[in-house]
Amino acid sequence: MALDEFGLIARYFQNVGASRHDVALGVGDDGAVLVPPPGEELVAVTDTLVEGVHFPRGSSARSVGHRALAVNLSDLAAMGAQPAWVLLALTLPAVDEPWLQEFAAGFSDLAQRHGVRLVGGDTTSGPLSVTVHALGFTRPGAHLRRAGGSPGDWLFVSGSPGDSTFGLSLEQGTASVADVDDDRTLRDRFLFPTPRVELGRRLVGVASACIDVSDGLGGDLAKLASASGCGAQIGIEYLPISGALWRNVSHDDAVRCALTGGEDFELLFSVPESRVDAVAQVVADTGVACAEIGRLESAPGVRVNRKGIVTEFSHSGFDHFRVMPTR
């Protein structure tokens, strides 16, 4: 007999993530009852993944579960918040237990890793879509924003942007690479992105502005710069492109992936000159590499410097399903 909605919730979503003392009432009633730490502020985010739009049809359920949570934790990371509680609104075309098992495992593994608890949600039937709502804490006023950068501030980005978009092309079969290790690494950067939660927390008091890179480095930099009331210039030679990407696409395609590919879930942040030294300590403590890629400037817009030739960057960052050329 097919599992009914209550059986399904009890089996897959009753006990997901870390157990927390600040959950007075979790999954099972009409609402969750949560106990925020006294004096802290709540940061709330939500993000939806739709099959065929944010992940290819037939994606591994474990990856879908991981990514649905990761994209939300990444938003909290960009705010400098400590994640605590999440809710999950799941729309499923059918009750497919092996799929649910894998989905819940992907979600739960990442939730455990960040000490986050699934405290409620909704389960409906329809085309596959996953909405997560996440809540985290910051000390009063101690959050990061897109606004706050000033001309002259240095720009940094974590990790190696560009891998994820190329990994998606591999998943879609529109690109291929010969080396099996590079193939795995690049695919996993799309399938299992790492939200930079600890980095975001540590950047509070260091960064002047921060955004997570979900729609492409160039486009998201334009958002940060414009929210900060300035512009920006970055140097192509400073982009932290991974060895796996360099080895498998042309120089131009690697740069294109890094600047315009989406779904990296890295943090892009500005730091005043007086605090740049603190970034090295944050990198040492978190083990997350951060590359200095340019500076904020007073003139609006984003400019790209390639060997001394400066051009205006213009691109609508969201372009997931474009075919990536291979060498």
- Taking CB under 6 A as the criterion, which residues in 97-156 touch ligand ADP? 118, 120-123
Q: Is 181 helix (H, G, I), strand (E, B) or coil?
A: helix
Among 21, 29, 181, 309, binds ligand ADP (CB under 6 A): 29
**Least spacing, CB of residue 113 vs ligand ADP, in Å:** 18
Nearer Cβ to Mg ion, position 92 or 175? 92
Q: In terms of DSSP H, where are the helices of the chain?
A: 5-12, 61-78, 97-113, 163-172, 180-191, 197-203, 217-227, 243-248, 251-260, 276-286
From Mg ion, ligand ADP, none, interface partner of 13 (C-beta below 5 to 8 A by class): ligand ADP
Closer residue to ligand ADP, CB minimum distance, 91 or 305:
91
Residue 136 contact among ligand ADP, Mg ion, none, beta carbon within 5 to 8 Å by kind: none
Q: Which residue, 122 or 277, is less far from Mg ion as judged by CB?
A: 122
State how far the alpha carbon of 167 is from the alpha carbons of 9, 37, 110, in Å.
Answer: 32, 39, 20
Nearer to ligand ADP, 9 or 267 (CB): 9
The strand order across the sheet containing 309-312 reads 209-213, 266-271, 154-158, 290-297, 231-235, 302-306, 309-312
Residue 90 site contact among Mg ion, ligand ADP, none (CB < 5 to 8 Å, cut-off depends on kind): ligand ADP
User: What phi and psi values does residue 100 have, to the nearest 5 degrees?
Assistant: -60, -40
Task: Work out which of 43, 64, 71, 90 binds ligand ADP, going by CB under 6 A.
Answer: 90
- Which of 7, 28, 37, 152 forms a contact with ligand ADP (CB under 6 A)? 28
C-alpha 169/C-alpha 274 separation (Å) is: 41
Query: For 230, which DSSP code?
Result: -
Binding site for ligand ADP (CB under 6 A): 9, 13, 27-30, 88, 90, 118, 120-123
